[in-house]
């Protein structure tokens, strides 16, 4: 256990291994420094999990240590800011943020950290177009790298996060190359009805 002085208490929701949101309001202790995770996957609501689990599963399949949280730019604004401000010192290297509707989660996180932030627009009542524009249309100065709407975006956010980390990690680069080769092979092996 780290000494009491090196841990800080914040309100946070964490997803357990099956995607159930576990609430620790006021009790969850996040070490102010050091996390074994290199990538954080953050989402605005538990309802985003079915999309964002594709990011977590892709990171897991590549062996990239990750953590997942539900944090909302509007429902938990203080905790979201706190998370973003501490992210770099905790050892995180990339943040993936998925949100839907008026989706400002990625932008708010990016405002409080210089870590790369990758935004995933969640499918919404407007087919995700609102989420896409809210995430992508950042004014100049605070970048959010925005991926495609929905599952493809979540998976690609994880692949891009891995590619960013792989610029300084040869083993991970090899894994990404192996993933591409396997993918090409399965496309070429596709059997059509005719």
Binding site for ligand RP5 (CB under 6 A): 44-45, 47-48, 72, 99-101, 122
Do 101 and 131 touch, CB atoms closer than 8 A? yes
Strands (E), 71-162: 94-99, 117-121, 145-146
Q: In b/e form, how buried is each residue of 48-60, taking b as 16+ CB within 10 angstroms? A: bbebbbbbbebbe
To ligand RP5, the closest distance from the beta carbon of 81 in angstroms equals 16
Name the DSSP letter for residue 144: -
Name the DSSP letter for residue 36: S
To ligand RP5, the closest distance from the beta carbon of 153 in angstroms equals 13
Task: Give the residue with the Cβ less far from ligand RP5, 116 or 121.
Answer: 121
Task: Give the residue with the Cβ less far from ligand RP5, 45 or 156.
Answer: 45
Task: Give the residue with the Cβ less far from ligand RP5, 100 or 107.
Answer: 100
Task: Give the residue with the Cβ less far from ligand RP5, 40 or 164.
Answer: 40
To ligand RP5, the closest distance from the beta carbon of 168 in angstroms equals 31
């Amino acid at each position: 256990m780290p000494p009491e002085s090196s841990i800080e208490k914040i309100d946070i929701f964490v997803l357990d291994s099956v995607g159930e949101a576990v609430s620790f309001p006021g009790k969850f202790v996040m070490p102010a420094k050091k996390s074994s995770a290199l990538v954080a996957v953050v989402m605005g609501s538990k309802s985003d999990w079915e999309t964002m689990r594709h990011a977590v599963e892709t990171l897991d399949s590549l062996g990239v240590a990750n953590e997942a949280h539900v944090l909302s730019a509007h429902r938990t604004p203080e905790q979201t800011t706190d998370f973003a401000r501490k992210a770099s010192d905790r050892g995180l290297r990339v943040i993936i943020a998925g949100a839907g509707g008026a989706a400002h989660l990625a932008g708010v996180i990016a405002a409080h950290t210089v870590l790369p932030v990758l935004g995933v627009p969640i499918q919404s009542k407007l087919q995700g177009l609102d989420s896409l524009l809210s995430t992508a249309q950042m004014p100049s100065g605070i970048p959010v790298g925005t991926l495609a709407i929905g599952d493809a975006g979540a998976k690609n956010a994880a692949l891009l996060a891995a590619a960013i980390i792989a610029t300084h990690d040869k083993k991970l680069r090899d894994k990404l190359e192996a993933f591409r080769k396997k993918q090409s092979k399965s496309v070429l092996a596709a059997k059509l009805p005719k």
